[in-house]
A and B are shown apart, each in its own frame.
Chain A
Amino acid sequence: MIGDGAILWYLNRATGLVSLLLMTGTIVLGVLVQRQARIPGLPRFGVVGLHRNVSLVSAVLLVVHVVSAVVDGYVSIGWLDTLVPFVSGYDAFWVGLGTLAIDLTALVVLTSLLRGRLPVRAWRAVHWTSYALWPLAFAHGLGTGTDLGSGWALAGALGCGVVVAVASGVAIAGRITARPVLDRAPAALAAATTALAAGRPAAASRNR
């Protein structure tokens, strides 16, 4: 039988591990959205919806993760520690990184829910901080986690790290090589003219 405290502990570890997976998925889907890519069988707005829903599920798991850590009496993490980083009585530095990640997550989720009411630039500026969010959460997991020390969990976490690094690289490379806005339409016209003259369908042009 698992005792009361043990349930909280298992819950905390499980939500932490699954959040890492979902946050990795969120980043990959976010890059797909930014690159205007498709997932086979899914329209483009479906990719956007998936990005949003996976991120919301991971946010819900994070709430469970935080609440279970505070409620669990075995470690001295208080309610204040869920908002203010680096003041925890238990493992102040590594827990503090997690708190920072939680604060950023709350900010990113909140601004995204209010996206229609915010200036696009403000939303985008906040959304950029999600690039810092994942490494913070990852370091928090490595530093304070009891499962990422070795074995398949560590291998999985490092795999997530590689996936996020590759996805971020693709996003940044895409931004660097993006065509200047005033050149897009003439380039699209040249491409469409060549394709249609050859009897082929024209390829899609990106508006970013």
Chain B
Amino acid sequence: MNAPPVTRGLLGIGDPSLAAHLAAHGPLPTVPDLADAVGGLTGRGGAGFPTARKLRAVTDAARAARTRAVVVGNGGEGEPASAKDATLLARSPHLVLDGLQLAARAVGADTVVLAAGEAVLPGLERALYERGDGGRVRLVALADRFLAGEETALVSAVDGGLPLPRAKTPPVWQRGMQGRPTLVQNVETLARLALLARGEAGEDHTLVTRHTAVVDVAEVPVGARLGDVLPLHAGVQAVLVGGYHGSWLPATMAADVGLDRTGLASVGASLGAGVLAALPGDRCGVRETASVVGYLAAQSAGQCGPCLNGLPRIAAALDLLARPGPPRRGLLEDVERWAGLVVGRGACSHPDGSVRLVTSTLRVFAGELAAHAAGWCTAAPSAPPFLPVPAPTAVAR
């Protein structure tokens, strides 16, 4: 790590207890107008939606519908390469619970839910017990699926249904859990609310999961130079920015990119779920992506035709292109054509995000694809996979 990032703030000192939380941050003050106090804070779940607008929308929708709103903390980190939400929930659960409390008060919610993976729930139960508000926050265990944290899939799961995305109209801020206006916020966003309410700096940093020789979670300044927060050793070929719905950038281009919306947008990327992965020199970018896209295809909800029919074909073709040896003629063109056919045609952004990764792979690893066609591959035969991909679940044919 050439430039140690800020580790205080959200991730604390590693003691998740209420006493340590209060010692570091003090008691939670009352905030008269939270939407006003959060300023330009944007959601940290991937979409980057302005939090103030969401708070106001839910408040107004609940008033218009003459019902009480619901607040759902989203810890459904389905992204296998991301660990920031689980790390945050394990290290600073009280900041997240403070954020939930603030959000619930702001939108007038009488139901508060915190949904997260099975592994972090015991720690959250302990934290709720410490605060004495165990009954006020309902903990929901989420399935280990890529789309589990997608807003509508999350609401469906919390309502007791399958963790699958639903139609986007009406939106969840109007009709979400139990048909009530629902505020869904990523857990990091909630923790940042808790900092902002106390007058601490909250919105100028963001959590990222870094994949280099090791995997860690760090809090880095928004707008920092990518090369300063992610060590790019000699030999690094490319950087995956934003996770499995993100894009590859060549290492030379990545180093000077600013980690904010405009900086990343200028190179066609976005921070997404906050994943930064530096592909070492002895791995094959096509091979790595092919295995990720196979996982993404299998994780499709299977509800929208273009996604169900497009992603498996793209994944199967990419798998063939990842092997050294001349590919079938027209296979690469097929992948490009299929990628164009699925964009904007799903109920959620799964097809769009998945082909964003695919098209950036075809661009950045064009040289590697040509080498494969000539019978060569960069990866050492014995090199283990670099990007984490969960084992597929068996399905009866």
Contact = CB atoms under 8 A, between A and B. Distances in A.
Contacts of A207: 302-305, 308
Given A187-B395, A188-B297, 8 more contacts: A181-B162, A181-B301, A186-B298, A189-B312, A192-B312, A193-B319, A202-B309, A205-B308
B309 to A, nearest CB: 6
Contacts of A120: 167
B313 A192 contact: yes
Contacts of A1: none
Nearest to A184: B302
B392 A197 contact: no
A183 to B, nearest CB: 5
B280 to A, nearest CB: 27
B309 A188 contact: yes
A196 B316 CA distance: 7
Q: What band does the interface of chain B fall in when counting residues whose beta carbon is under 8 Å from A?
A: 20 to 34
A170 B303 CA distance: 21
Nearest to B293: A189
Contacts of A6: none
B316 A195 contact: yes
Contacts of A190: 395, 397
B102 interface: no
Contacts of B331: 196
Interface of B: 162, 164, 167, 294, 297-305, 308-309, 311-313, 315-317, 319-320, 328, 331, 392-393, 395-397
Contact of B316 (A183, A186, A187, A202): A202
Interface of A: 120, 181-193, 195-197, 199, 202, 204-205, 207
Contacts of B395: 183, 186-187, 190
Contacts of A193: 312, 315-316, 319
B302 A189 contact: no
Contacts, number: 78
Most chain B CB atoms below 10 A, which of A184, A189, A190: A189
Nearest to A191: B312
Contacts of B167: 120
21 contacts: A181-B162, A181-B301, A182-B302, A184-B302, A185-B298, A185-B312, A187-B397, A188-B308, A188-B312, A192-B297, A192-B312, A192-B313, A193-B316, A196-B313, A196-B316, A197-B316, A202-B313, A204-B309, A205-B302, A205-B312, A207-B308
A184 B298 CA distance: 8
A183 B164 CA distance: 12
B104 to A, nearest CB: 28
A205 B309 contact: yes
A198 to B, nearest CB: 10
Of all A-B residue pairs in the complex, the 8 with the closest CB atoms, nearest first, are A184-B302, A185-B300, A192-B312, A189-B312, A192-B316, A186-B395, A196-B316, A188-B312
A196 B317 contact: yes
A204 B302 CA distance: 12
Contact of B392 (A184, A186, A199, A204): A186
A181 B164 contact: yes
A193 B315 CA distance: 8
A184 B309 CA distance: 10
A192 B315 CA distance: 8
B306 to A, nearest CB: 9
Most chain B CB atoms below 10 A, which of A182, A184, A185, A191: A185
Most chain A CB atoms below 10 A, which of B162, B298, B312, B397: B312
B312 A202 contact: yes
Contacts of A199: 328
Most chain B CB atoms below 10 A, which of A188, A196, A204: A188
A181 B303 contact: yes
Nearest to A120: B167
Contacts of A184: 300, 302, 308
A113 to B, nearest CB: 19
A191 B316 CA distance: 9
Contacts of A196: 313, 316-317, 320, 331
A190 to B, nearest CB: 7
